Structures are given as structure tokens and as C-alpha cells.
A and B are shown apart, each in its own frame.
Chain A
């Protein structure tokens, strides 16, 4: 009866985090190594997995409130298989292995709870409210999963002699050692309705990578739903 669907059965587990298709994340849960995931991102689970609404790090919660960069997270613990997704966005799985990455909170799907993480202020972007001023920096030994609306692209900043400019709405993640500053390509013309539509960019320089999604829709679908 369900022969056409049989092809979508889960593949055997080979890693802590894997993609099932390109839009769904499969996490092999185990007691002792908890997972932090976006609230509302769970689509299915097998086994005994428990969810706590927020990890009791009061300071971080308080900071979330202040910064608006608070990705509401839930702590998942237990044994089993956990499936996460964010409204059909592409999933990117990274084994950090000691590296660090700076992620836009909207694009964060899940990460190992033992990783070092925190909401931090992006230096060099003074007086720029909205996206990109605050972001989540994650580092350590473990796995992290990002979402991207459409297949992302990774650009090496060291490759060009000039700075790399990114539309803040399309930015997904970047290497934290990059220098960031804001760039206003804002002219007097824009005030009379003749702008180019690109009023503000973030400029990255240094050695590292920038991950960009092919969409400028940065609404947080998980949060919109509540």
C-alpha cells in the first residue's frame, strides 16, 4: 500500500545529527548529551525524549528580552530519535569540532547543549537596530544545525581583496573572527523614494566565511506562530 512512501523511511543512524532529505534534521538523542532546539521545531520523535521550555540560565533569558535576539530554545533530553524542521527551510549540519560560528538567531535550529554559546553584540555596528546587531555565537566540540531558506552559499572573505558586503536579511552565519562593520549605501535620493532598495549592508573583512541564504525573507516562522 505504501510502497511509494517506503523510500522515505529513516536511514540508519551514523552521526549525532544528520539530514533526512534536505529539509529535516534527525538527531540521535542520548541521555547525558542534551540538545537545545528552537521552540516549536520538533516535528516527530521516537523513544523517550523530554522537553523543557527554557534552560535555566537566567542571565541569558534576561538578555534575550533585552536584545530581541533571543531565539526561544527548549532543552531536549532523553534517548531516541528526534526530528526537527523549520517550515521547509533547508537544513545545514555542522560538526563544530572546536571551531566557532556566529549565527543569526532566526537561522539556528538546534545545537548540543554542552557547546559554549551566548548572545553577543556584534562589534562595529553601533546604532543599528534590528537584525545583526545581536547574534548567537557558538563554539566547542559538538554539532549544530542551521536553517536556510533555499540552498545557502558560502563565500570566503579572504578570497577578495575588498570587503564582502551582505544584505543583513539574507545573512545566515559567519566566522566570528571576521571584522564586521555597517555600510550605509544610503543616498539623499532614497529619501524621495528613489533608493536602490539596498539601504544597509554589513561589511565583513578578514579570514573566514560568510553563509548567505538566497532569500531576503527573514521572518521567524517559528516565532510568528507563537
Chain B
């Protein structure tokens, strides 16, 4: 679970994460407004003495690339990669700011957050909304600052001028810093907390606590109910995108480009370990020192058949490759993620369960183990007599195995996307075929959804509750919908929902459908009704 910061809270980075390679995501949802989100690298006097450390849309990285602008991704309006141990000594503070582009003021924003992700896991989140501001046109959201060690502070301080004034301010005079709030003695992370990949799947909150509900939704759903257009963040970020690392849609934006030592989950299309500038997006004009002949470039050399000189340039090319040579270097992008937690997402399709921490067994779908290290025993887990009867009757049957012992087990199945969901006394409903693995400490039972028009008379689902983690698998990237008064879901595509949501079957019965052949095929839908904060997970795949 990320640590929730309030305005003025401060913490040492080392208390949040052991890593120094951080991903900072800023999301601001404000219909009709666009924001420039930038990062100022300030010296000991809190001045921008070196303007190469003003990281914004026109200057997407600092000279040694310790701070990089990554563009909109993973639900964030803007994101940065900060490598703390590469920041030069004269830079003492990184200030993340958002300024309104064009007309508007900060009080118009709906909600927003600044979050810090390390090693694929969100470690800190500072959420704010428009009620904290008035007519300001800029806001300093948060700082990384060096005071003995690197620390993070949630600032949330408004500023009247726009980006220019802010820049002038940093160049001209020292800003008063807020009185340091007492360090919040918040409980450190529990060891068993799973690694939530930030983008796909937020921590399912308890039905009561709406705040850390699906990440896709605004972090703090407004009381009452969330207007549907609110969670559409990245649209407004359009002007600030600068040469995204990935071509549009060509590669899936990585969940967290803020890797720990090795760079787990690196952007896929990126050559591993390339320190120099990434090649420009496909279709963009190449760098000045473009490789000589370059097939596929307009001024193609006269004919491919030229053997000697022309072709020789290819032979020379691999030496200049951005990729380091050797098997280990080439594969270092896919290294295992080391964390001492019980459940760690290795990439979007592989999860590691560490049985060594407390020896509690894990139940997993049979055959889903792909690799293990240590002494792990795999045993059959029967459903019991009653379980088999119920399973046979409802189709909600899981072929499980029990993994006991000490060691690390990697689970995956058919390259489906995996999402660890941590339950803390709350409950989630998951269709049995979408369960990959879960802690044995969770209780589960078959729940029945009644309604007209369902083939077979009723729908069944598994309800999990208790304290522990369940790994849900989806075909493709799922969508997490906040439950609104009008949330309808295809019963074949629904994966999971928070158990507090009430499910109603809605059938579309129309005269036309009955009168003509060739109906829409979307006859029976599930409607969800619940208080705000509940969510439904839908996969792009109809079973």
C-alpha cells in the first residue's frame, strides 16, 4: 500500500523504498484545462542556477539523464524518472510543479495526485484537489530534497503566476519553505504487502474506504458520486507530450519505468541498458548522426545489390549498437525483481510468491508454476466432497495445488495479465476461471447471482474474503470501472468486482430483437449498484 501523504508531510526516501531509481507520476484531472508539469533542479540556495536542470516539455532530460520526462502514461498526466544517485552534487532539491497552460486557475481542478513508484510498486502518494487552492495558476506539488539523505516532501503550495513567474521566482529569490511538519510516525510497510503494479490495478479498497480504490479512478472520489468524465486524465496532457519513448500504441506503455537495480519491466521496445538517448519515435526524423545508409529512409542508396562499400557499413553497425553485448547484458532487462515481499509482480504476466517469509502455504491453479527455487512441495488440493458437488453444479470449480515449503515460486499462465489484489478483511468476487493463486488464509465460497435470461438459470462466482492476497488473471489489459448508477457489464467479460457491489441482471428485451433474427448478441448484462468506491474489473476478452 502506498503511504498517503498530506500537505507538509515529509519522509526519507530510504524509508519508502530501498531503490534510488524512482518514477514520479503526476495526475491532474481538470476538464478543459491543460497543465505543464515540470521539474526544477535547484541548488543549495533553492535557485535554478543551472537551467539545464529545468526539466519540462522542451527539455525532457537533464544532461546526465538523472531526471527524465517520460510523458503521459499509466494513467498519469505526466511522469518523470528520477535516478537519485546520479543527480550531481550541486543539485540539492527537485521541485515538481504544475502550471495552468492558458486561462484557468487551480481551484478548477477536480482532483490530482503526485505519486512515487519504485520497483513497480507505488510507495508514496500525495493526493490533492481543487478545494485546497484558489486563484493560483501554478502549484508546487512536491519536492525531493537532500538533507543528509534524499527526502520527499508533499508541498502543495500554490503560486499566483504561471510558469514564467515560477521560473523567475526560482531564479530570482528564495522561496520560503513551509515549516517542517513533524515526521509522521506511520507504520512501515507490512512485509506481506504485495507489489502493486501501479497502472493496471489499484489496491482494492475495502468497501468502506473509498480512497485507494481503483487507480484509474480519481484517488479521492468526490462524495456523492463521481461524474463519469472525471477519470479521463491523459487527454489534457496532449501538448506536453514530448517524443514519447514508445510509438503510439506500438508498445504497451510500461507500468513503471522506475526500476530497482536492474530495471525490471523496462519499456519493451527499448534496448536494454541503453544509456544514450533513446532513438526517436518511429517515423520521426532521425538524429543528426544517423547511421549511414539506412534502409527505409527516403534517400535510399542506389540499389541493394551493391556489395562492397555500401554493404560494409552494415557490418560496422553492430559495434555502434546501443545494446551491450553478451547474453547476460542482453537479457538484463528481464531480470528478476528482488524484493522481500510475499507477492511480487515480476512483469505484467509473471508473479513471484515468496514462501520463505512465513511459511504460509499458497494455493494455486494446477500447472501454473513455471519456475521455483528452494524447497517447495506441490500437493493436490481437493475441494472436499461438498466442494466438488458445488463445483460441479455451478461450474465454479478450481483445480488447485498447495505450494508449501520455503522458496520462491513463479506463477504464470498462458501469458495472461496478472494482478495481485490484497485483501485486508474485505471481500472480492472473482470468477473461478480468473483466479491464478491466493493465500491459503483467504476464505472463499461460491455466490449465486440470480436473474432472468441467463443461460442455465443463474450465474455463479467465487467470493474471497479475509486477509491475504489473491492473484487475478485477465486476458489483455483490463479496465477497472468505478461503480456508478449506470454501470453495465457483459457477464462473459467481467472478471471481478468488489463484493459490496450489488449485482442485478438486466436483460434488454426489445420487440425488434424478438421480431427479427440477428440480434445484437448483447442480451444479458450485469448491472452493478453500490456506493462510490466500488469497482468492476472487465477484460477485453469474452470467455
Residues on B with C-beta less than 8 A from A162 are: 373-375, 407
Assess whether B325 is interfacial by the CB under 8 Å rule: yes
Residues on B with C-beta less than 8 A from A149 are: 414-415
Assess whether A54 is interfacial by the CB under 8 Å rule: no
Annotate B266-306 by CB proximity to A: 1 below 8 A, 0 otherwise: 00110100000001111100100011011111000000111
Which of A95, A150, A154 is within 8 Å of B323, CB to CB? Answer: A95
> Contacts A81-B295, A215-B414, A216-B367: A12 and B372 contacting too (C-beta < 8 A)?
no
In the complex, chain B residues 306-361 whose Cβ is within 8 Å of any chain A Cβ: 306-307, 311, 314-315, 317-318, 320-332, 334-336, 346-350
| Min CB gap A95→B, angstroms | 4
Annotate A1-27 by CB proximity to B: 1 below 8 A, 0 otherwise: 000101111111111101111100000
Residues on A with C-beta less than 8 A from B268 are: 19, 21-22, 90, 151
* CB <8 Å contact, B412 and A215: yes
Assess whether B370 is interfacial by the CB under 8 Å rule: yes
CA distance A149 to B124 in the complex (A): 33
Which of B252, B304, B379 is within 8 Å of A47, CB to CB? Answer: B304
CA distance A151 to B320 in the complex (A): 26
* CB <8 Å contact, B401 and A197: yes
* CB <8 Å contact, A7 and B304: no
CA distance A19 to B412 in the complex (A): 24
In the complex, chain B residues 373-426 whose Cβ is within 8 Å of any chain A Cβ: 373-380, 382, 399, 401-402, 407-408, 410, 412-415
Chain A: residues with Cβ within 8 Å of the partner, total of 78
Which of B283, B314, B328, B373 is within 8 Å of A6, CB to CB? Answer: B283
Assess whether B371 is interfacial by the CB under 8 Å rule: yes
* CB <8 Å contact, A155 and B414: no
In the complex, chain A residues 160-175 whose Cβ is within 8 Å of any chain B Cβ: 160, 162-167, 170, 175
Annotate A80-93 by CB proximity to B: 1 below 8 A, 0 otherwise: 11000000001011
In the complex, chain A residues 68-112 whose Cβ is within 8 Å of any chain B Cβ: 78-81, 90, 92-101
Which of A15, A48, A100, A197 is within 8 Å of B305, CB to CB? Answer: A48
* A contact set with B: CB distance below 8 Å: 4, 6-16, 18-22, 28-33, 46-48, 78-81, 90, 92-101, 143, 149-156, 159-160, 162-167, 170, 175, 185, 189-190, 194-198, 201, 209-217
| Selected A-B contacts with CB under 8 Å, 24 pairs | A7-B281, A7-B282, A13-B293, A13-B317, A14-B320, A14-B321, A19-B268, A21-B251, A21-B269, A47-B304, A94-B330, A95-B321, A95-B326, A149-B415, A151-B347, A153-B371, A162-B373, A165-B371, A167-B370, A185-B378, A195-B366, A214-B350, A215-B412, A216-B367
**What are the 7 A-B residue pairs with the smallest beta carbon separation, nearest first?**
A197-B366, A150-B415, A214-B412, A97-B325, A197-B367, A15-B321, A170-B370
